[in-house]
Amino acid sequence: MSETVALTVANLHERVEAIFRKAGLNSVQAGAITRVIVAAERDNCKSHGIYRIEGALRTIKAAKVAPDAVPELLAQDAAAIVRVDAKGGFANPAFELGLPALAERARSSGIAALAINNAVHFSALWVEVEALAGEGLAGLAMCPSYATVAPTGGNSPLLGTNPFAFGWPRREQPPYVFDSATSVPARGEIELHRRAGKQLPEGWAIDSDGRPTTDPVAALAGAMLSFGGDKGSAIGTMIELLAGAMIGDLTSPEALDLLGTTTLFPRHGELVIALSPGAFAAGRPGSPFSRAETLFEATVGQGARLPSQRRFSARAKSERDGISLSRQEVAQLDRFLEQGLGAV
Ligand code: NDP
Ligand code: PYC
């Protein structure tokens, strides 16, 4: 018997949404987090795919997310700032609510920002910059997390794994998108190594005494390291400032203090910036879109790949052949659906 099962994207969506509805989420919350989880699984981004369902269920069971939250678009004085209060629900429905206003203001002013407050966050950010690229806009998205990363030169958790994503629209092709944690890998990768009984590559983490470790259990109890040493640490700090302090929401150490554990999903904010390349380039020589294509062609021409090319290939395969899941993964989905919050 085959070790894997192929589910259509629609079938996986139906199962995941049913799990979250059974767990008590309203349709706004369940719909939005199902879209982001299924998109990650479809694109073979395992660290933010169906593996995250268990954490979401635990967070719901612990009453650390508002299951019936309906995000609210707030009136703002500054025309370029759109603010959405997630009302203690997940960040994803708040982003979906804010997206049309963000895109409309970026088109009319050239630049606009969406500040999301009071959100529970666990997801990949590429989904959001890809949505902006779908509107013809370049985008930047970033958020803190909870303190799990030591600043370079330090020895204990302070920064979050603070993801940072960028998207650029392309006319005849999927957008140019990158999306990275500012730690070496995302924390989800360390947890996946632990579950698979695999050692970590060197340079990912230190143990609780500040010594380098390749043991995922020691790494989870210790601290993760920033990508690129002091450079990643500085970008992680920038994200704490812009998407934490500046938008009046929690930084990663504050988010950990509030939650008291890294086994549930943290509450904090998110900042998304949308830019209109056409507006910025107005009156200057050349089309920004054609010049971007020249750069991408030169990159690929050297044998390099563009970030997200792997994802788009995985997406095409999933849409053609179905999403390949292990039998254990399918059994776990069945268990979540049958037992609801009793399964975690
Ligand atoms: P990866 O290290 O897997 O990938 C980072 C980026 O680099 C991707 O855009 C990837 O594209 C690209 N890339 C990888 N290899 C190459 C290559 N050879 N050439 C060109 N580009 C390449 O991601 P991370 O582990 O850092 O992060 C995974 C996810 O975790 C992200 O989506 C992030 O948003 C999420 N996250 C969320 C957090 C939260 O608090 N919500 C916290 C931390 C992370 P490709 O995908 O095509 O390989
Ligand atoms: O993978 O680092 C991570 C992460 C933290 C919160 C959500 N994802």
- pLDDT (0 to 100) of residue 1: 66
- Is the separation of the CB atoms in 28 and 68 below 8 Å? no
**Residues β-bridged to residue 176:** 168
Residue type, 130: E
* Test site for ligand 1: of 46, 179, 268, 317, most ligand atoms within 8 A of the Cβ: 179
- Tokens 């708040």 map to which residue? 94
Amino acid letter for position 123: S
The answer as to CATH 3.30.1370.60 being correct for domain 72-183+226-283 is yes
**Shortest-distance Cα residue to atom 16 of ligand 1:** 307
pLDDT per residue as tens digits for the range 20-76 = 999 999 999 999 999 999 999 999 999 999 999 999 999 999 999 999 999 999 977
Q: Which of 48, 121, 193, 268 is catalytic?
A: 48
Domains 1-61+305-344 and 72-183+226-283 share a fold: no
Distance CA 158, CA 80 (A): 31
Distance 109 CA to ligand 1 centre (A): 30
pLDDT per residue as tens digits for the range 250-283 = 999 999 999 999 999 999 999 999 999 999 999 9
| pLDDT value for 309 | 96
Which residue's CA lies nearest to atom 18 of ligand 1?
A: 305
Question: Quick one: which ligand is closest to 305's CA?
Answer: 1
pLDDT digits (tens, 9 = 90+) for 326-342: 999 999 999 999 999 99
- Is 47 catalytic? The answer is yes
CA 36 to chain centre: 9
The whole-angstrom separation of Cα 98 and Cα 75 is: 12
Domain coordinates in residue numbering, the chain: 1-61+305-344, 72-183+226-283
Element (H, E) at 139: strand 138-142
CATH of 1-61+305-344, picked from 1.20.1270.10, 1.10.1530.10, 3.90.550.10, 2.40.50.100, is 1.10.1530.10
Assess whether 189 carries a catalytic annotation: yes
Distances (CA, A) of 282 to 47, 113, 279, 285, 286: 40, 20, 5, 8, 9
Q: What is the largest CA-CA distance in the chain?
A: 63
Distance CA(65)–CA(199), nearest Å, equals 33
pTM of the model: 0.97
pLDDT > 90: percent of the chain: 97
Distance CA 344, CA 340 (A): 8
Q: Is the pLDDT of residue 77 over 90?
A: no
Q: What is residue 284's DSSP assignment?
A: S
Is 329 known to be catalytic? no
The tens digit of pLDDT for each residue in 294-316 reads 999 999 999 999 999 999 999 99
- Residue 309 near ligand 1, beta carbon < 6 Å: yes
Check: CB of residue 273 under 8 Å from CB of residue 150. no
Q: How many helices (H) and strands (E) does the chain have?
A: 13, 13
Helices (H), 159-308: 187-196, 216-221, 230-240, 252-259, 277-281, 288-301
- Indicate the pairing of strand 138-142 with strand 149-150: unpaired
Ligand 1 pocket test: pick from 121, 126, 180 the residue with the most ligand atoms within 8 Å of its Cβ. 180
In this structure, the residue with its CA closest to atom 33 of ligand 1 is 124
